[in-house]
Amino acid sequence: MMFARLPRPLRGLARGAAYVGALAGLMTMAACSSPASRFYTLSDGGASAASVASASAGALVSARTSGAPAWLIEVAPIDVPPQVAKTQFVVQTGPTQVQVLEQERWASLPGDEIRRALSTGLTQQLDTIDVYGTAYPDSVPVYRVSVNVQRFESWPGSHALLDAVWSVRAVRSTAVMTCRGVVSEPVGGGYDALVSGHRLALRQMSLQIAAGVKAMAASATQGKASSASKGTVTAPAVPACPSVVGTTG
């Protein structure tokens, strides 16, 4: 019995099609066998429980434009240690050992997550606006918030640790307050609990920074009043760092 032999170009196409089909099958099998990644964020989006409940009850929500507050803040990009500057969770397994988790990830880089969470917390607590990267009137005082994270440690089932040096500087002034905050929040088992611990630590840090901004603003107001009464320009005094709020370690 005779079989027709395919011309050489057609035989090459057939082998190529078979190879592509096999490769596609292997990729499909690999995708099905790989566990899905889970993504977490440190920001709650600024929505309070009351506003969510009101919206779910069918309340009408209208957009509005807020007027400029008495002073503004500017939360600069935040530095984090290089070993945790990745979207994968980096968890402590011992004093000198860490584990990088491929399936547990931050929605964005930790520095961006921390900046967004602090910006949201500060604007809510101070009832002001974060104008970083945005134009603002020269007549409105602006306080620049800078944060350098020294440690951002995740200990599953134990605690979440945030150790940061932060400063508040009055823009167009040499007055600057530089402080350090160390917050350790106990956490239960699971990565949701770990993320909640980091959120609570950032909440405590934002309360401390907000107290620093308020102190700087009050000092500037007192300095202007003193200058007006004396007829001379008096440099505003830099207040002491506010006491740490919450659990520290």
Per-residue pLDDT reduced to its tens digit, 124-180: 999 999 999 999 888 899 999 999 999 999 999 999 999 999 999 999 888 999 999
Are 224 and 71 in contact, with CB atoms under 8 Å apart? no
Distances (CA, A) of 93 to 97, 119, 157, 216: 5, 31, 11, 40
| Three-state secondary structure call for residue 144 | strand
C-alpha to C-alpha distance for 79 and 198, rounded to whole angstroms:
16
Are 159 and 185 in contact, with CB atoms under 8 Å apart? yes
| Three-state secondary structure call for residue 217 | helix
Would you state the pLDDT for residue 104?
97
Are 177 and 239 in contact, with CB atoms under 8 Å apart? yes
Is 70 exceeded by the pLDDT of residue 74? yes
Are 176 and 237 in contact, with CB atoms under 8 Å apart? no
Are 194 and 239 in contact, with CB atoms under 8 Å apart? no
Would you state the pLDDT for residue 49?
38
| DSSP code of residue 231 | T
Write down the pTM of the prediction.
0.76
Mean pLDDT of the chain: 82
Is 80 exceeded by the pLDDT of residue 65? no
Q: How far apart are the first and last CA of the chain?
A: 86
R_g (Cα) of the chain, nearest Å: 27
Would you state the pLDDT for residue 169?
95
The CATH architecture annotation of domain 68-230 reads 3-Layer(aba) Sandwich (3.40)
C-alpha to C-alpha distance for 18 and 12, rounded to whole angstroms:
10
Q: How many helices (H) and strands (E) does the chain have?
A: 4, 7
